Structure 1
Amino acid sequence: MAKIILITGGQRSGKSSHAQNMALQLSPNPIYLATSRIWDEEHQLRIERHKADRGNEWVNIEEEKELSKHKFEGKTVLIDCITLWLTNFFFDNDSAIEQSLEEAKAEFNVLVQQEATFIFVTNEIGLGGMPENPVQRKFTDLQGWMNQYIAERANEVYLMVSGIPLKVK
């Protein structure tokens, strides 16, 4: 049976740092499952900097959408992040919320059938008010619904506020 931990919060709230510390407490060699596509040169440099900051104890895997194709039995896996992962579905599906949500839920369900500890990092993008752009509103809805889906299934949920983890569940 999988153990699911969800860490959520705003941008630069300390989510990833907290998740990394938690993973290192659970395993000497955790897996870092990065979901981001490389959008431009600045983004590539940011990704390389993050990899270097993590250190050699991490096993790094980059996977844009098909997280469950990797075998994680008995491992501690940090998935960073759900927001970028959903972005990949959203763009590939031409902003179709229902299709993106269905595909992401199905992939999540297969992933967590593995007996492993999964630490998911996500963003609470809906805290900042109603986006002006219709595409942003659609994505905010998608993100909120997926966060709820994962949180409902999670053993533990943490909300990061200014670098401080608040246990929600």
Structure 2
Amino acid sequence: MTCTLVLGGARSGKSRHAQALAEAVPGRLVYIATAQALDDEMEARIARHREDRGPRWSTREAPVELAEAIERAAEEADAVLVDCLTLWLSNLMMADAALQPRFDGLCRAIAACPKPLVLVANEVGLGIVPDTSLGRRFRDEAGRLNQQVAATVTHAVFVAAGLPLTLK
């Protein structure tokens, strides 16, 4: 089945592009959200994104248990969109979870997904080196996660300034 990773920086247009890919599939769509509304600004963002998606979409929240959410969503949807892997990584790090087993489980769920699947992730390694050890660890783990997922999916796209560039 088609699995696509959509990478890009903040406000690059990656989520919009990913949503369009999923909406090209007829039928029921499931949006798996990894964000958590921990403050008013994030709550407003989440509400705005829900409005943008429209009635074909149902939303499932999976701040940590992402592999399981993909498996469940594939049972009920014709296409699945995960937004975003970078927030999922942040949630795992804040929970002090062992990362590699989670990465491996995610890649297994991606490979086994019988429906079209689109995953969104930030490319955080293009900027300056973070000045804190936590920031550097986050950047490095995000890079590792993106590489593993890119190796697993059938397609990968990098979005900059709203323009998609096919990588794979």
The answer, yes or no, to whether TM exceeds 0.5 is yes
1:1-169 counterparts in 2 under 5 A?
2-70=1-69, 71=72, 72-73=74-75, 75-93=78-96, 99-110=98-109, 112-169=111-168
Structure 1 contact 77–117 (Cα < 8 Å) conserved = yes
Q: What is the deviation of 1:167?
A: 0.5
Q: Structure 1: where are the runs of 5+ without partners? A: none
The one-letter amino acid of 2:23's match is L
CA contact (8 A) 2:107 2:148 kept: no
Stretch of structure 1 that moved more, 141-150 or 128-137 = 128-137
Query: Secondary structure of the residue that 2:11 maps to in structure 1?
Result: coil
> Aligned pairs, how many?
164
The 2-side partners of 1:149 and 1:124 are apart by 13
TM-score (norm 2): 0.90
Report the aligned-residue RMSD.
Answer: 1.6
1:104-163 Cα shifts (integer Å, max 9, x gaps): 322442354231211000000010121111101000011000000000111000000100
Is the Cα contact below 8 Å between 1:64 and 1:85 reproduced in 2? Answer: yes
Say if 1:89 and 1:104, in contact at 8 Å, map to a contact too. no
Deviation for aligned residue 1:62: 1.1
Offset of 1:90 from its aligned partner?
A: 0.7
Counterpart contact for 1:105–1:146, Cα < 8 Å: no
Contact 2:86 2:122 in 1 (8 A): yes
Does the 8 Å CA contact 1:67/1:111 hold for their aligned counterparts? no
What SS is found at the alignment partner of 2:24? helix
Q: Which runs of 4+ in 1 moved over 4 A?
A: none
Distance (Å, rounded) in 2 between the aligned partners of 1:104 and 1:113: 14
Gaps of 5+ in 2: none
Q: Partner letter of residue 77 of structure 1?
A: V
**Percent of aligned pairs sharing the same letter:** 35
| Cα deviations by residue, 1:25-54 (Å, 9 ceiling, x for unpaired) | 013331111011222122111111111121
SS of residue paired to 1:127? coil
d(CA) in 1 for partners of 2:28, 2:164: 23
Are the counterparts in 1 of residues 67 and 105 from structure 2 also a CA contact under 8 Å?
no
CA contact (8 A) 2:31 2:81 kept: yes
Return 58-67 or 136-145, whichever deviates more: 58-67
Shift of 1:61: 1.0
Mark the CA change 1:152 to 1:107 in structure 2 (over 3 Å): closer, same or farther: closer
